[in-house]
Every structure is written in structure tokens, then in C-alpha cells.
Amino acid sequence: QTDVCESADWYNSKFIVSMAANMNMTRTPDVHFISEARTEGTKFVVLSPDFSQIAKYCDEWIPIQAGQDTALWMAANHVILKEYYIDRQVPYFIDYVKRYTDLPFLV
């Protein structure tokens, strides 16, 4: 919740996932950027065990149970790596990985 991009940059996003955050309560001055982004076509997904205040803005609410969040993100990472790194080499993805991540050093 504190290690995120500038909230105004949400407006430039095409897909936003909120997990374990209730922006209506914790980022009240910034939450309007979510509704503005959605007006521009951004898809918004909320991962939360309860239908929280922020879920009213979402396109999809995924009611995960405690302990499922890690498995969900591992599955998402698997799909990203398989589709953009293993099955076909996407130059933008390869360049991003080399510049900004430690993936080349992982075994």
C-alpha cells in the first residue's frame, strides 16, 4: 500500500489489481483516479475476502480466502513467464527483465 506508483499514474493504466487494500479508507484523496481510469476503459480487479468499499468500483471481485493470495500470484507469474518468455520471446519483456529485475540471476 505504500510501495506503489504515483496515484495519478493509475489514470494511465489499462489493468489495475487491488489486493488487501481499501483505498477509500487509506488513500481517500487518491481514490478518484480509479473511477477516472475506469471511465477511460481501465479494467479493475479486487482481490479481497470481503466485498469491501473499494470492490464497488471493480469490474471483477475475486473473493480469495486467507492463504490463497500467494498461490494466485504464483499462477499469474507462471502464465506471464510461459506466454512471454518460454512459448515465445517478446522483445519488450526480455529487455524489461534484463534492465529492471533479477530474473537473469535466478536458477
pLDDT higher than threshold 60 for residue 1: no
**pLDDT for residue 3:** 57
pLDDT higher than threshold 90 for residue 103: no
Contact indicator for 45, 58 with CB cutoff of 8 Å = yes
Q: Which amino acid appears at position 104 of this protein?
A: P
Three-class SS of residue 17? strand
Task: Read off the pLDDT of residues 30-56 as tens digits, 9 standing for 90 and up.
Answer: 888 888 899 999 999 998 888 888 888
Residue identified by cell 477509500 is 24
Q: How far is residue 37's CA from residue 61's CA, in Å, rounded to a whole number?
A: 17
pLDDT higher than threshold 50 for residue 107: no
Domains, the chain, with CATH or none? 1-63 (3.40.228.10), 66-100 (no CATH)
Angle at 22 between CA 76 and CA 26, to 5 degrees: 125
